[in-house]
Structure 1
Amino acid sequence: MAMTRRRNQANWRLLAIVPLIAGFVAVTGGSAGSAPVGGGCGADHWVATWMAAPSDSASQADFSFDPITSVGDQTYRMVITPHRAGATLRVRLTNRLSPAEVTFTSVTVGKQAGGPRVWSDSLRTVTFGGASSVTVPAGGDVVSDPVALSFGSFEPLAVSVYVPGSSRAPTEHLQGMATSYYGSPGTGDRTHDVDGGSLDRTTTSVLYVSGVDVLAPASASTLVAFGDSITEGFVGSGYSEVPQSPAAVDQNLRPTDFLQRRLDAAGIPISVVNSGIWGNRLLDDALRTLPQLGPRGLTRIQPDVIEVAGVTDAIVMFGANDFAIPEWATTAEMIAGYTEAVHRLRAAGIRVVLGTNPPLKYSLLAGNFAPFADQRRVELNDWVRTQRIADGVVDYDALLADPHADAIILSRYRGLDNHVGPAGYAAMADLIDIAALRGSGCGNQER
């Protein structure tokens, strides 16, 4: 799809606020997956229970302004919160955006006991093709062998990986809104340490770990929320967005968290995973300029939606950053991008719901440097509401916009950064027509 884009690099300096199963393993230059357990749609199969879409390998600090000291001979214990309970899981590790191969010589998973601690009776060794060590090439991902471990929904797990050699430029998900732990350079393999005492550094970025799948019955499936920081559930502490709000860290206040609780209460066996990236754009690839914004949506739609285990449904919302950050997109370009995205998802058998974008006139970038952005947002929303290529529409704008103010989010739904806040995320989740979700159908069992 050819698109003409205007170039204006001068304003990029304004964005410097970020200084920042069994016996099978697949390691590829893109996404990796493994065959389903069982022989057909009636068999158990894999569904995603948690994911963090890789954003970059360039940050020097997280959204709490804590430096990320990744050098080598270190253990990284990433804390994740699964959305679907299970008794068998597999771990996804990533080196997708890093410039060199990485070797993980020891990987474990267990239930978090608080802070960096893991319950000793839950600690499991994770293997890859039967081996405890695996080397992942630059641009690659890897999926582990099945691991027997019973856990509940929203019960935090700790995935620990040891990198004996260089761990510079780890592929990460920049903005995790959850606290993880790692050791100082040179502290060695601590993956089997249950007390985690030597894991003395913290970060809210997610390093190396990109997903966890769970073995589930045929009735279960996955819904992927695909978008930018609103999808991701970012909560800023002030107008400049960073640092992130410490009150929201480790609280599971993302729109996907609220939606999962609704589905669980209704007894609907759909696992909701989050494929949002702060600052992400559908059309422009930020890797050349501000890598922390992640690969463009049209590039990552394959690994981050279509190849997600068990996916049957996707909620898609982009536009705020395409309109507000150079290279500024036009409405026509965004409509063309949305059209391509919907066609690709539906061709993969995924039911697609498009979300309208809430107001951005008073956001940091659009309000100050792209005054035309909100009008383009309105035009895109009009198209989303009237298009007939997707399977459904969820009108976040109608829910969140203040009808008595000029293009601003209602105060009860708005955060300090004029972004959507936790109450708004809960309301967004309540707006989803869960009865209309496709679900079941076994999803993408081959993933």
Structure 2
Amino acid sequence: MLSRLALATAISLALASPAMAAGQPWIAAWYASPEPSATDKAFVENQTLRQIVRVSAGGTSVRVRLSNAYGTQPLHLDDIRLARRDTGSRIDAASDVAVTFNGRQGVTIAPGAYVLSDPLPVSVKPDSDLAVSVYVQARTALTTVHDIQRGVLYVATGKQTDAAELPAAGVDLGVGRAFPWLAEVEVSGSAARGTLFTFGDSITDGYGIDPDGGKTWPDILSRRLHDANIPLNVVNAGVSGNRLLHHGQWARFGEGGLSRFDRDVLAQTNASAVVILIGINDLGHAQGPGSDGYVSADDMIDGLAQLAARAHERGLRVYAATLTPFKGTVFKDYYSDEKEGRRQAINAWIRTSPVFDGVFDFEKAVEDPANPGQLLPAYDLGDHLHPNTAGDAVIGNAIPLSAFNWAKKLPK
């Protein structure tokens, strides 16, 4: 049994912990939904990986969440450091700190598990970049990744987590543009009082958008909210290729939206609202009635209604976005007139359904008025499915900020 002195010391240390400080809630500031790797042949060994992430909320301290969600063996990461980014791979050395777990450097993550770091005394500004550097000594499989880099990944040989700069960017680790393990960055001491999660597929995740420019539509919406002094930051929970009612056609398209919604939105700290844009892959990735993976418009409507009901049960505001045009897409067999009919039926329901707290008409924002069902060429990435940078800007600026005035009443 603890002595009175030891007990008093333990209590005082607990009360002094940044994680327990009154009035300092943790806010998600960056997120990358974990996905299973598409290969079992990708490894790193004696390498440092420096991932750049753009946080949507500022704060006075930081913590990170790492994932071994799809690993079948314990994942050992030998050394992890965090710093504010200067430019490129260069860090602000004065802000460089060791990322610790229960006071220790390095961590082993059980199969299927996550770990949350100790609070780190690093202040960050909204819409600024952090560098998270991870060193792995032993040959380690890349089993848990996120498919789309919304930042940039730098790679170097040996233990260089505290190096001022790393030389190599764009290195292919055998998993394409994916990056491993880093799932979330949270901040405390933030002016933001809640988080709006954007939940969807590649159009939300940022496919084809400059991965190091903060130009996805969630990035744009987050900056607009900040500039308008609405204390709500935006975090991206998109997964490229994702479907609502089925898991991905291949591993890196992730678990289905209904399956991952709890983990990626409802379980998040200080989640206050969600914008849902998902369903185009449910149409495109299956053929006609009777084919594997086919979903009717009613199936999709029921699935979207379930997301809304589950979010409302947790006290979140729920917004839905209409499915954007895809006629003429270059992806073979992805479009048909029958699928377009289902898209229109789903959008008609979204626009009139009482289950949402608001609706954002992304279709009308990027559709070609002269060619209904098609993206306006100026907003088309070139595949007639994904909006380009200009299209994302139009989407991000089309959302009325008045829909979020309630956030001004969130408790401080």
TM over 0.5, yes or no?
yes
Structure 1 residue 276: Cα displacement: 0.7
User: Within 5 Å, which residues of 2 pair with 1:173-188?
Assistant: 173-183=146-156, 187-188=157-158
When the two chains are superposed, the root-mean-square deviation of aligned CA atoms in Å is: 2.6
Report the counterpart of residue 322 of structure 1 in structure 2.
282
- Asked if 1:163 corresponds to 2:136, the answer is yes
3-state DSSP of counterpart to 1:156: strand
Partner in structure 1 of residue 197 of structure 2: 224
Aligned partner (choices 363, 368, 374) of residue 402 of structure 1: 368
Distance 1:35 1:395 in 2: 42
Question: Could you list the runs of 4 or more consecutive aligned residues of structure 1 that deviate by over 6 angstroms after TM superposition?
Answer: none
After TM superposition, the structure 1 stretch with the greater mean CA deviation from structure 2, 191-200 or 201-210, is 191-200
Deviates more, 1:152-161 or 1:68-77: 68-77
Distance 1:198 1:407, change over 3 A: closer
Query: 1:300 aligns to what?
Result: 260
Q: What does residue 417 of structure 1 align with?
A: 383
Q: Verify: 1:262 aligned to 2:230, yes or no.
A: no
Amino acid at match of 2:219: D
Counterpart contact for 2:26–2:187, Cα < 8 Å: yes
Cα shift at 1:256: 0.8
Size of the aligned set, in residue pairs, is: 388
> How far apart are 1:198 and its partner, in Å?
7.5
1:238 paired residue number: none
State the distance in 2 between where 1:54 and 1:35 align: 27
* Larger Cα-atom Rg: 2
Q: Is 2:112 the partner of 1:145?
A: no
> Is this contact kept in 2: 1:218–1:440, CA < 8 A?
no
* Residue of 65, 69, 85 corresponding to 1:96: 69
Kindly indicate whether structure 1 or structure 2 has the higher relative contact order, using CA contacts under 8 Å at least 6 residues apart.
1
* Aligned counterpart, 1:56: 36
Whether 1:108 and 2:68 are equivalent positions in the alignment is no
Match for 1:275 among 216, 237, 240?
Answer: 237
Instruction: Decide whether aligned partners of structure 1 residues 89 and 177 sit closer, same or farther in structure 2, where only a CA change above 3 A counts.
Output: closer
How has the CA–CA distance of structure 1 residues 109 and 81 changed in structure 2, closer, same or farther, with 3 Å as cutoff?
A: same
CA deviation vs aligned residue, 1:162-183 (integer Å, no higher than 9, x gap): 2233321231111114321123
Looking at structure 1, the residues matched to 408 and 161 of structure 2 have their Cα atoms a distance apart, in angstroms, of 36
- Residue 129 of structure 1: how far off its partner (Å): 1.2
Residue of structure 1 in register with 2:8 after alignment: none
Q: So what's the TM-score if we normalise by structure 1?
A: 0.80
Report the counterpart of residue 432 of structure 1 in structure 2.
Answer: 399
One of 370, 380, 391 as aligned partner of 2:346: 380
Deviation digits for residues 169-216 of structure 1 (CA, Å, limit 9, x no counterpart):
231111114321123xxx432212223247893674222111100103
The answer on whether the counterparts of 1:313 and 1:439 sit within 8 Å (CA) in structure 2 is no
Q: Using the alignment, how far apart are the partners of 2:382 and 2:192 within structure 1?
A: 41
Displacement of 1:291 after TM fit? 0.4
Equivalent position SS for 2:374: coil
Unaligned runs of 5+ in 1: 1-21, 25-33, 61-67, 236-244
Give TM-score scaled by structure 2 length: 0.87
Question: How far 1:255 moved relative to its partner?
Answer: 0.3
The 5 Å alignment of 1:185-204 reads 187-197=157-167, 201=171, 204=177
SS class of match (1:148): coil
Which amino acid in structure 1 is aligned with residue 294 of structure 2?
W
**Residue 268 of structure 1: how far off its partner (Å):** 1.3
